[in-house]
């Protein structure tokens, strides 16, 4: 009978009113036909509020396995076999037909061992005794009815080895009145309500003590994605270094600003759809600064500003093709062109935003990532200035030791890959790329001849993966992001190694 906790509590407190103790909660529950599990919960709660004092008692008991249950009902396999052997004997084949496979197999073996049956030549089975008692079934029934004390230990061992029974540790309580015992428990009030005040009940009512250490309701707040946390840190480093953020709110760009303005030739492999996402609609852009475009054409075709150019036939319609920008350097070209339109002032610019490359997806590459780019535009800047600003920038990331490896970019000469020794990974990690923008890029824009621009770039995903110990970029981006990581991850400070 499913009794409520309240019913059990009252019965239990009432019982203790007239009895010094309840020695065994299991027996008491059985006698009071309460579910022992429910009784245990009530005892725990009464113990919690001092109404009872309870000691846990353990008892090892045996319960029947499913196989044991079936034999307790239908008899042990050896007994079933014996029953199935007629006094005149029976062939194994015939006998097998009469019994379940497992019963036949186990039972025959056991019956032979018990010298209940004998096997004649030719395989006929014959009874060796008139009748047998199915001790095993009786023992199983004893155990099932909790009377395992009646079953001799060797029989218990035998039943256990035959996986017909398995041990169970039964846990119960022995309990007596507690310091706060009362025949009826009035739940202490948790709130000083208007009713309790008006009724004056507050005078005698017990109040639940305030748990000042109680943790408030967890307030579900928003969480910054690790990428955005690291972006915030890169932003503050750039701003502290006096850089201004470039507007990057245009994923769609023209080939002109993404490639041509950067003196990247129209036959460069990066400019075909294997590497770049071109747009079907709007497929082309027509708003390009005509005079500047002509200078770009001439520079690609025949050079100038000390350059021989590429000497190929530059096509306007190639430059008009729209694409998803492959680097935020496209934004840098727009900003440098704008800078060249007014009276020159030195500038420090940075950008952190998405770029798109039609690349094979693998552990560290997706078709899009966030590029971080910095550039310094001033008169007479040298490679030394670039190395200087790189050391300053990366030192603020906690990356002290840098090494530079000559590299190639269509829009910078000289160019350098940047490496830093990663203490925990115990190896040199490529942490970015850099260079000095070519005069073939800067001069057509109209920047003064003595102005040079040093620039560098890296990704946001790589440092975030390293900082958060994320091995696969797919765990960082998209629907597979592990929200727990987002919710639980601490702010991993850049610069702290």
Q: Which is nearer to ligand FB9, 254 or 332 (CB)?
A: 332
Query: 110 vs 347, which CB is nearer to ligand FB9?
Result: 347
Q: Which stretch binds ligand FB9 (CB under 6 A): 139-147, 254-262, 296-304, 453-461?
A: 453-461
Contacts with ligand FB9 by CB under 6 A: the residue count is 22
Is 293 a binder of ligand FB9 (CB under 6 A)? no
Name which of 89 and 388 has its Cβ closer to ligand FB9: 388
HSE-CB of 97 using CA atoms within 13 angstroms: 4
Contacting residue, 429, 485, 486, 492, with ligand FB9 by CB under 6 A: 429
335 binds ligand FB9 per the rule CB under 6 A: no
Q: What span, in angstroms and rounded, lies between the C-alpha atoms of 233 and 391?
A: 17
Work out whether the CA dihedral 360, 362, 367, 370 comes out positive or negative.
negative
Among 380, 379, 456, smallest CA distance to 414 is for 456
Among 466, 481, 485, 486, binds ligand FB9 (CB under 6 A): 466
Q: For ligand FB9, which stretch binds (CB under 6 A), given 276-284, 381-389, 426-434, 478-486?
A: 426-434
Q: Is residue 40 a contact point for ligand FB9 (CB under 6 A)?
A: no
Nearer to ligand FB9, 311 or 469 (CB): 469
Please report whether residue 459 would count as binding ligand FB9 according to CB under 6 A: yes
> Does 462 participate in binding ligand FB9 (rule CB under 6 A)?
yes
Q: Which is nearer to ligand FB9, 25 or 464 (CB)?
A: 464
Our finding on whether 463 is near ligand FB9 (CB under 6 A) is: yes
Binding mask of the shown chain, residues 243 to 282, with x at each position contacting ligand FB9 by CB under 6 A:
----------------------------------------
Q: Does 409 bind ligand FB9 (CB under 6 A)?
A: yes
* Nearer to ligand FB9 among residue 34 and residue 238 (C-beta): 238
Q: What are phi and psi of 98, to 5 degrees?
A: -85, -15
Which of 253, 260, 373, 440 forms a contact with ligand FB9 (CB under 6 A)? 373
User: What's the closest the beta carbon of residue 65 comes to ligand FB9, in angstroms?
Assistant: 56
Q: Out of 344, 430, 485, 486, which residue is the one contacting ligand FB9 (CB under 6 A)?
A: 430
Q: Is residue 107 within the footprint of ligand FB9 (CB under 6 A)?
A: no
Name the residue whose CB lies closest to ligand FB9.
457
One-letter-per-residue 3-state SS of the chain: CCCCHHHHHHHHHHHHHHCCEECCHHHHHHHCCCCHHHHHHHHHHHHHCCCEEEEEEEEEEEEECHHHHHHHHHCCHHHHHHHHCCCCCEEHHHHHHHCCHHHHHHHHHHHHHCCCEEECHHHEEEECCCCCCCHHHHHHHHHHCCCHHHCCHHHHHHHHHCCCEEEEEEEEEEEEECCCCCCCCCCCECCCCHHHHHHCHHHCCCECCCCCCCCCCCCCCCCCCHHHHHHHHHHHHHHHCCCEECCCCCCEEEHHHHCHHHCCCCCCHHHCCCCCCECCCCCECCCCCHHHHHHHHHHHHHCECCECCCCCCCCHHHHHEEEECCCCHHHHHHHHHHHHHCCCCCEEEEEEEEEECCCCCECCECCEEEEEEEEEEEECCCHHHHHHHHHHHHHCCCCCCEEEEEEEECCEEEEEEEEEEECCCCEEEEEEEEEEECHHHHHHHCCCCCEEEEEEEEECHHHHHHHHCCCCHHHCCHHHCCHHHHHHCCCCCCCCC
User: Smallest gap, in angstroms, from Cβ of residue 315 to ligand FB9?
Assistant: 25
The binder of ligand FB9 chosen from 140, 151, 455, 476 (CB under 6 A): 455
Query: For 243, how many CA atoms within 13 A lie in the half-sphere containing its CB?
Result: 26
Choose one: 27-35, 238-246, 292-300, 461-469; the region binding ligand FB9 (CB under 6 A). Answer: 461-469
CB of 497 to ligand FB9, least distance (A): 8
Q: Least distance (Å) from ligand FB9 to the CB of residue 306?
A: 20
At residue 492's C-alpha, the angle toward residues 487 and 497, to 5°, is 155
State the nearest-atom distance from the C-beta of 357 to ligand FB9, in Å.
6
For residue 455, give both structure tokens.
């620039």
Q: Is 46 or 397 the residue whose CB approaches ligand FB9 more closely?
A: 397
Minimum distance, C-beta of residue 398 to ligand FB9, in the bound complex (Å): 7
Our CB check for ligand FB9 shows the closer of 399 and 447 to be: 399
Please select the residue that binds ligand FB9; options are 371, 443, 452, 489, rule is CB under 6 A: 371
Query: Would you count residue 456 as binding ligand FB9 (CB under 6 A)?
Result: yes
Residues in contact with ligand FB9 by CB under 6 A are: 329, 371, 373, 399, 409, 412, 429-435, 455-459, 462-463, 466-467
């Amino acid at each position: 009978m499913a009794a409520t906790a309240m019913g059990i509590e009252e019965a239990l407190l009432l019982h203790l009113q007239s009895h010094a103790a309840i020695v065994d909660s299991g027996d008491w529950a059985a006698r009071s036909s309460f579910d022992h599990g429910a009784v245990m919960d009530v005892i725990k709660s009464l113990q919690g509020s001092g109404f009872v004092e309870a000691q846990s008692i353990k008892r090892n008991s045996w319960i029947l396995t499913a196989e044991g249950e079936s034999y307790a009902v239908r008899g042990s396999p050896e007994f079933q076999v014996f029953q199935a052997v007629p006094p005149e004997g029976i062939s194994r084949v015939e006998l097998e037909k009469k019994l379940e496979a497992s019963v036949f197999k186990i039972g025959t073996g056991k019956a032979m061992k018990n010298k209940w049956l004998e096997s004649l030549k030719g395989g006929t089975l014959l009874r060796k005794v008139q009748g047998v008692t199915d001790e095993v079934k009786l023992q199983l029934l004893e155990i099932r009815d909790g009377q395992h004390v009646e079953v001799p230990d060797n029989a218990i061992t035998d039943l256990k080895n035959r996986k017909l029974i398995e041990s169970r540790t039964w846990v119960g309580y022995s309990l007596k009145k507690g310091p706060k015992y009362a025949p009826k428990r009035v739940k202490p009030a948790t709130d000083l309500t208007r009713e309790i005040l008006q009724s004056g009940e507050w005078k005698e009512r017990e109040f639940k003590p305030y748990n000042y250490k109680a943790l408030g309701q967890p307030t579900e707040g928003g969480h910054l994605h690790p990428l955005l946390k690291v972006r915030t840190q890169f932003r503050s480093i750039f701003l502290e270094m006096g850089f201004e953020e470039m507007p990057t709110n245009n994923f769609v760009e023209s080939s002109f600003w993404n490639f041509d303005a950067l003196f990247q030739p129209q036959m460069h492999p990066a400019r075909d759809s294997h590497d770049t996402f071109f747009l079907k609609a709007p497929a082309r852009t027509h708003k390009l600064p005509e005079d500047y475009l002509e200078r770009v054409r001439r520079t690609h075709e025949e050079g100038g500003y000390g350059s021989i150019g590429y000497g190929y036939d530059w096509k306007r319609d190639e430059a008009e093709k729209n694409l998803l920008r492959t680097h935020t350097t496209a934004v840098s070209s727009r900003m440098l062109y704008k800078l060249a339109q007014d009276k020159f002032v030195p500038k420090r610019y940075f950008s952190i935003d998405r770029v798109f490359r039609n690349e094979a997806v693998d552990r560290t590459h997706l078709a899009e990532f966030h590029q971080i780019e910095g550039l310094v535009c001033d008169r007479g800047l040298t490679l030394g200035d670039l190395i200087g600003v790189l050391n300053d920038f990366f030192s603020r990331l906690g990356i002290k030791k840098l090494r530079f490896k000559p590299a190639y970019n269509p829009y910078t000469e000289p160019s350098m890959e940047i490496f830093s020794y990663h203490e925990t990974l115990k190896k040199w990690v490529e942490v970015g790329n850099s260079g000095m923008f070519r005069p073939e890029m800067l001069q057509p824009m109209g920047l003064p001849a003595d102005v040079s621009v040093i620039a560098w770039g890296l990704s946001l995903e790589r440092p975030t993966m390293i900082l958060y110990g994320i091995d696969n970029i797919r765990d960082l981006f998209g629907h597979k992001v592990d929200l727990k990581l987002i919710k639980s991850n601490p702010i991993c400070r850049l610069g702290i190694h």
